[in-house]
Amino acid sequence: METLVADDVRYAGLDRAPGPLVYAPFAQGSEGFLSMFVTVRTEGNPLSLVAALREQVRRTDPDQAVASVSTFEARLSQHGRGGARCFFCNLRSAMLRGSQMPALALTRPPAAESRPATPFLKWAGGKAALLPELLKHVPGRLRRYHEPFVGGGALFFATAPRRAILSDLNGELIHCWQQVRDGAAGVLEALSEHVYRRDHFERVRALDPLRLPPAGRAARFIYLNKTCFNGLWRVNRAGRFNVPFGRYRNPSFHDPALLLRASRALRGVEVLHAPFEIALQRTLPGDFVYLDPPYDPVSETASFTGYTRDAFGWEDQERLAAACAALDRRGVRFLLSNSATPRVRRLYRSFEQRLVSAPRHISCKGEGRGHVDELLVFNA
């Protein structure tokens, strides 16, 4: 059966419902259909929503009916003001086992072109601004896509390959990618419990992720990534996340449509926790590899490689260059990005090189931001 996904609740006319709306988690229906929760908060009588919702659903899709309205009304009155939840799903989908949703309203999203998936993480050194330049080097036909320093995965999502292997040495990052691929509904439900407050941030940061359930662990990663200072992910020698609270107007850490599009794009994709040398052993002729390692620092004060407890130093850069040479010998195309320091340029002098201008965002001082030259290295 085809999975139906709604990227926006407005398909059911809920943007015109009385009272403000707060979008809450999506969840997987027991028949394999994707279902949607919407938290409805109203300052008036919640029962006044029933007629409006029923009419909006029928007007949007006359062929479907609204079911369990009496149950909805009865349980809605028990919840009182400000706590009503409406549950929308495909007609064939059954109520989730153990669901505490008060009712079932049946409708389905209209056929519409899906929006492309984009990164669900804010990653230091993310490549969204460089995508036009990077895409020039991605072959039109490739056997399989590899990205062994996946980070936020901007080029992966832009390329949308049918076959891919994504990997990273950051175990928390990879766990998050795997959960978004395999259990986006649970991650969204866990994210709905978070709030943007300093005290909450500090409590969540202090949690041991290994003691959390899988979905909660991934939600913690996304929440901290979206609400910490500058969206950085940095750990100390003990492997503990230590970036302070960030100040934002309205950080978007709970975005169902964004996460669900990413989950769809990850279907069938292998996501591995592995060092780059192990990950590259999976490559074969005809594959394409994008390498975006922690950059060689352009100055003594510009070093930022602490994404894992073991920083990525110059010896690692040399091992990576040797791995690129091995890829070239095996007939595997690669593209690598790094800072345009003299020693990096010398390290890759046997390959093609291009300089591109890229924005720099992670400096703690505004005057330290701006544009900087980055190096693209490729073998075809």
List, for residues 125-152, the tens digit of each pLDDT value.
889 999 999 999 999 999 999 999 999 9
Nearest to 284 by CA among 228, 351, 329: 329
CA 36 to CA 188: how far, in whole Å? 11
Strand order in the sheet with 34-40: 21-28, 34-40, 84-89, 105-106
CA 177 to CA 166: how far, in whole Å? 9
CA 125 to CA 3: how far, in whole Å? 34
What's the pLDDT score for residue 298?
85
pLDDT: is 369 or 164 the higher one? 164
C-alpha pair distances (Å), 184 with each of 133, 258, 260? 31, 10, 7
Provide the 8-state DSSP code for 17. S
Confidence check: pLDDT of 245 > 90: yes
What is the pairing mode between strands 34-40 and 84-89? Answer: antiparallel
**Per-residue confidence band for 103, with pLDDT thresholds at 50, 70 and 90:** very low
Q: Quick one: what percent of the chain has pLDDT higher than 70?
A: 64
The number of CA neighbours under 13 Å toward the Cβ of 245 is 13
What are the backbone dihedrals phi and psi of residue 103, each rounded to the nearest 5 degrees, phi first? -160, 175
Confidence check: pLDDT of 99 > 70: no
Q: Which of 23-32, 54-63, 164-173, 182-191 has maximum average pLDDT?
A: 164-173
Q: What mean pLDDT value characterizes the chain?
A: 75
Say if residue 204 is exposed, middle or buried (CB neighbours under 10 Å; 0-12, 13-18, 19+): buried
Q: Which of 97-111, 232-246, 283-297, 302-316 has maximum average pLDDT?
A: 283-297
Direct distance between the N- and C-terminal alpha carbons of the chain, in angstroms, rounded to an integer: 42
Are 28 and 34 in contact by the 8 Å Cβ rule? The answer is: yes
Helix (H, G, I), strand (E, B) or coil at 305: coil
∠ Cα 207 212 216 (to 5°): 100
Are 207 and 240 in contact by the 8 Å Cβ rule? The answer is: no
What's the pLDDT score for residue 7?
35
Find the range with the poorest average confidence among 83-92, 212-221, 348-357.
83-92
Q: DSSP letter string over 255-268?
A: -HHHHHHHHHHTTT
Domain ranges of the chain: 9-106, 128-192+255-378
pLDDT: is 23 or 76 the higher one? 76
Confidence check: pLDDT of 11 > 50: no
Distance of alpha carbon 350 from the chain centroid: 36
Are 368 and 354 in contact by the 8 Å Cβ rule? The answer is: no
Are 378 and 137 in contact by the 8 Å Cβ rule? The answer is: yes
What's the pLDDT score for residue 310?
65
Q: What is the pTM of this model?
A: 0.72
Nearest to 256 by CA among 328, 190, 205, 166: 190
CA 263 to CA 257: how far, in whole Å? 10
Helix (H, G, I), strand (E, B) or coil at 343: helix
Tokens for 195, please give them.
Answer: 């709030």
Are 87 and 191 in contact by the 8 Å Cβ rule? The answer is: no
Nearest to 245 by CA among 206, 187, 293: 206
Tokens for 213, please give them.
Answer: 């359930």
Confidence check: pLDDT of 327 > 90: yes
Class for domain 128-192+255-378, per CATH?
A: alpha beta
CA 354 to CA 324: how far, in whole Å? 16
Q: Quick one: what percent of the chain has pLDDT higher than 90?
A: 53
∠ Cα 254 132 177 (to 5°): 35
What's the pLDDT score for residue 51?
53
What's the pLDDT score for residue 113?
40
H or E segment and range at residue 58: helix 48-60
